[in-house]
Structure 1
Amino acid sequence: MKVKVSVDQDLCTACALCYDELPEVYEDRGDGIAKVKDDVGGDGAVIEGEIAERAAEISEECPSGALVTEIIEE
């Protein structure tokens, strides 16, 4: 699986779900709001494999709907 990940920071409620569950991809930008890590590629980064599957799962669990995960390839 290959996905494109980003965070709608206007919707993020700083619940910390994403960066607690998947710190390889997401981090706190400093005020609790999530962002895709720069070393992963920042917003719009394409990730693949098991980590992409986990990102897709976490995106569905996000209570505010701020995590955007676009499936590029199954």
Structure 2
Amino acid sequence: MKVKVSVDKDLCTACALCYDEVPEVYEDSGDGIAQVKAEVGGDGAIIEGDLAQRVLEVTEECPSGALVTEVIEE
């Protein structure tokens, strides 16, 4: 599986769920607002395999709907 990830910073409420649950992909931008780590490609990064499944799960759990995850390959 492959997914394309980004964060809508206007919707993010800084709950820390994403970077607590999937720290390989998300991080605190300094003010609690989430961002996709530059090391994985920043907004628009392509995530594969088991990590992609974890990203999908945390996207569904995000209370503000700020995580944008698009499945690009099953």
TM beyond 0.5? yes
Deviating 4+ runs (over 6 angstroms): none
1:3 match: 3
Cα shift at 1:31: 0.1
2: CA distance, partners of 1:22 / 1:47: 12
Q: Which has the higher helix share?
A: 2
Sequence identity (%): 80
Deviation sequence 1:18-48 (CA, Å, 0-9, x none)? 0000000000000000000000000000010
CA RMSD of aligned residues (A): 0.3
1: CA distance, partners of 2:40 / 2:73: 18
Stretches of structure 2 lacking an aligned partner (at least 5 in a row): none
TM-score, length basis structure 2 = 0.99
TM-score, length basis structure 1 = 0.99
Stretches of structure 1 lacking an aligned partner (at least 5 in a row): none
1: CA distance, partners of 2:13 / 2:21: 16
Q: What is the count of residue pairs matched by the alignment?
A: 74
1:18 match: 18
Does the residue aligned with 1:46 lie in a helix, a strand or coil?
Answer: strand
